[in-house]
Amino acid sequence: MTASKHVVVVESPAKAKTINRYLGSDFDVVASYGHVRDLPAKDGSVDPAQDFSMVWQVDGRGEKRLKDIAARVRGADTLYLATDPDREGEAISWHIAEELKRRRVLKDVKIQRVVFNEITKKAVQAAFENPRDLDHHLVDAYLARRALDYLVGFTLSPVLWRKLPGSRSAGRVQSVALRLISEREAEIEVFRAQEYWSLAASLKSAEGETFKARLTHLDGQKLDRLDIANKVAADAALAVLRAAPTVEVTTLEQKQVRRHPQPPFTTSTLQQEASRKLGLSASNTMRIAQKLYEGITLDGETVGLITYMRTDGVQLSGDAIAAARSVVAADFGDAYLPSSPRVYKTKAKNAQEAHEAIRPTDLRRNSKFLSRYLDRDELRLYDLIWKRTLASQMESARLNQTAVDLAVPGGRALLRANGTVVQFDGFLKLYEEGRDDAQDDEGSARLPALAQGETCQMVEAEAEQHFTQPPPRYSEASLIKKLEELGIGRPSTYTSILQVLQDRNYVRLEKRRFLPEDRGRLVTAFLSSFFKRYVEYDFTANLENQLDDISGGRIDWKAVLREFWEAFDTAIGGTKDLKISDVIDALDEDLGPHFFPIDAESPDRDPRLCPSCNEGRLGLRLGKTGGFIGCSKYPDCRYTRPLAVPGSESENGNGDATGQPRTLGEDPNSGLPVSLRQGPFGLYVQLGEGGKAEKPKRSSLPKGMDVNALDLEKALALLSLPREIGKHPEDGEMVTAGLGRFGPYIKHGPRFVSLPVGDDILSVGLNRAVTILAEAPQKGKSAAGPLKTLGTHPDGGEVTLHSGRYGPYVKHGKVNATLPRGEDKDTVTLDRAIELVAKQAAKKPSKSAPAKSKAAKAKTTKAKSTKARPKKG
């Protein structure tokens, strides 16, 4: 009798190899490599007129996978669909089943769906013992989301292309995330720093211990942060404090608080913490987590190290809780173990809530054990997950908080001192959650023992000036947190949302913070003006809730699509007769308050008055490459500036974003116009317009040059480069200055030396040029002498220490030996240097070894060639 044959489809080949080992010889495991088909990227793939019928297309890679799966399924008893345990995994299984049905290879083949949250032998075998049918509610939710994203993208994007030159495309969720980034930037641009002062006193208790207290009340009034607004007010308050030799403790409050641990990781909280603590991007975090989920080989068996990493759930299985409590008791003692297990419940109501939180599959495997198997980032992320999971089952921290009010004699001023003492660290011994932005740590200091009515000595009082700070730009962590708070997007979408915005050049990351590009701000303003409903936070969050209702079987997916499409189609139709001038007017009105703020020092001055002609009105203009601000008197006045608030951080000091030339004047020699232009590699000046037969003369602007100070004279000087500076005093050769692909340089004979930052290519003189040439390292020579001489080598000659391109090194004769990473150059001794030089010398081939003759080399080569050549038969 022939044994039963079962085909198992998973997503990745790594997972296929692992699961194959867990199942018997009756099972044939094959990978689909993710999705096997998708909606074609063309109009009509989703047809609202045909009740939202969807056309699916198999690409070349998918066809290869499907043929392989179909060949294996023929004659099998059962097809097990074991793709990932989320909505996307359910969709992949559905696509495979539908395509195999269409190809008629599933006759007499039973279809079963299996899901497992971790790739361990126990979990996989348990899943195959409890298979289920495909969850069509989850599939419907996928279809609805896919249709919605398609309809928005392929219907709204053409409107953007026609009505907003320079724009790319729009997405249902990405546009809302872009709005968040753009609105935050607008807040920063209109922000004006406000001065304020804080006062603090250094006090000494009756026992002689010093501590600090801050001023909270003055002349019977409670002080808000901004109430002491200038130095005059600060000095007046300071005089009150300094006039008091002592202060008296009027009230003393002490209380004990408990601080509880955070729940285990969900997808979003893992991305946030990995960004804060490890500096990992959301995409890198998910890539590394995928590797940890798929696992490594331990003791001849491949096992997953963490549970599935796309989840909204914070709950842990009973086995996981028991394992965590066991490790806590063993590693930290019973004092750190709560009397009963901690049970966390998710507030989310989407399809992923049934999944466990992200946790190690075996908490006995700590980072020390895995250090020989994982690379640096894998180990760091695993350690983060391990600590968070373990800490979630540890005892709460107990803190003693103290607040003391102290009054100056006469009661004109009141000070407050706060202190916190950790009585029992609890889970803080292992883990503390990171924070997105700097927060006030007041109250973390420890106070001496004080008693009500006690008199404390005034040691010193000080006033400190501050300025209010604008709201911080979003980091990846804080943006994901905000999206999650608003109910926008889902765990599997955050990474793609952030990446798409960058790929479309709508935003950029600088110092791990998101800045909107001009193009992105225009798209946000356009959508807010003409499709306001579809970038509203509540509307997008409600649509996400409806998708969750679909996955729970509480609402019909096509009913959601019909309701959405009816209103969206009407909104699209309303833009048919929209003129670009109407778009410009709407965007100008929307963005005007941000880009033309009233100057507080000159409130009567019109912020839109053109500073060049003093007649025209500044307003938004659209060019091929995006938006800019220009004068209404164009072409008589060619004034332009970037799409940013004047003087703001986001304004590019190196020029405008128009993509259009700005005429600076005429060259007196040729009569040709000289213009400033924007190219793909930055700003440049150009002489004339050029033509097909002749390329006009151009010169880039040196980095750091203020474009606002650029005039005709400087432009002509740039166009005349390279320029002769003078003859070198030693050899009489001409020294020149020019601009190259690597920036400004000084040339003397065959030598090119980059011009140091701070030197002006247009004004650097001969004396300075000669100095620059003398100080610059010459090819094949050290830039400087040794840092120090360590001593004499036993074989003769000095052993010296140097600073090189790849770090510090020691030198003896012609042998250079780099110091190992982490070794301090200031502690290197002569003996250590001799040891390093000897090791380096041993690596080099001995010069005394006889070299092979050309004839011997040729003979060896011929022998190898003859051996490799197949014999003729």
Residue whose pair of structure tokens reads 């780099």 in the numeric block? 818
Length of the chain: 873
**Hey, which of 407-416, 488-497, 666-675 has the most confident mean pLDDT?**
407-416
Q: Which of 261-275, 319-333, 399-413, 702-716 is the least confident region? A: 702-716
- The residue among 737, 231, 284 whose CA lies nearest residue 509 is 284
> How confident is the model at residue 847, as a pLDDT?
42
> How confident is the model at residue 383, as a pLDDT?
95
Return the higher-pLDDT residue of 37 and 578.
37
**Hey, which of 446-450, 470-474, 775-779 has the most confident mean pLDDT?**
470-474
- Cβ atoms within 10 A of the Cβ of 488, count? 23
User: Span 430-453, mean pLDDT?
Assistant: 74
Distance of alpha carbon 650 from alpha carbon 670, whole angstroms: 38
**pLDDT higher than threshold 80 for residue 651:** no
User: Span 462-478, mean pLDDT?
Assistant: 92
> How confident is the model at residue 857, as a pLDDT?
43
Return the higher-pLDDT residue of 821 and 699.
699
Cα angle 525, 531, 537 (rounded to 5 degrees) comes to: 85
Cα angle 834, 840, 844 (rounded to 5 degrees) comes to: 135
> How confident is the model at residue 408, as a pLDDT?
94
**pLDDT higher than threshold 80 for residue 870:** no
Distance of alpha carbon 772 from alpha carbon 754, whole angstroms: 9
- Cβ atoms within 10 A of the Cβ of 51, count? 9
> How confident is the model at residue 53, as a pLDDT?
93
> How confident is the model at residue 503, as a pLDDT?
85
Please, which pLDDT band fits residue 679 given cuts at 50, 70 and 90?
A: low
Q: Which amino acid type is present at position 79?
A: L
pLDDT by residue (tens digit) across 396-434? Answer: 999 999 999 999 998 899 999 999 888 899 999 999 877
Q: How far apart are the first and last CA of the chain?
A: 48
pTM of the model: 0.68
Strands (DSSP E) along 634-733, which ranges?
A: 640-641, 662-666, 673-679, 682-687, 697-700, 723-727
Q: What is the per-residue DSSP string for 51-62?
A: TSEE--EE-HHH
> How confident is the model at residue 406, as a pLDDT?
96
**pLDDT higher than threshold 80 for residue 193:** yes
Please, which pLDDT band fits residue 694 given cuts at 50, 70 and 90?
A: low
pLDDT by residue (tens digit) across 804-852? Answer: 766 788 888 888 888 887 677 777 888 888 888 888 888 755 443 444 4
Please, which pLDDT band fits residue 853 given cuts at 50, 70 and 90?
A: very low
**pLDDT higher than threshold 90 for residue 441:** no
Return the higher-pLDDT residue of 599 and 375.
375
Alpha carbon separation from 212 to 242, 547, 734, 789 (Å, rounded): 14, 54, 67, 51
Helix axes 282-294, 494-503, angle to 10 degrees: 140
Query: Which residues are bridge partners to 38 per DSSP?
Result: 57
> How confident is the model at residue 682, as a pLDDT?
65
Name the residues annotated as catalytic.
308
Give the pairing of strands 301-303 and 110-113. unpaired
> How confident is the model at residue 172, as a pLDDT?
87
* pLDDT mean across residues, the chain: 84
**pLDDT higher than threshold 50 for residue 202:** yes
Distance of alpha carbon 810 from alpha carbon 798, whole angstroms: 10
Backbone Cα Rg of the chain: 35
> How confident is the model at residue 2, as a pLDDT?
44
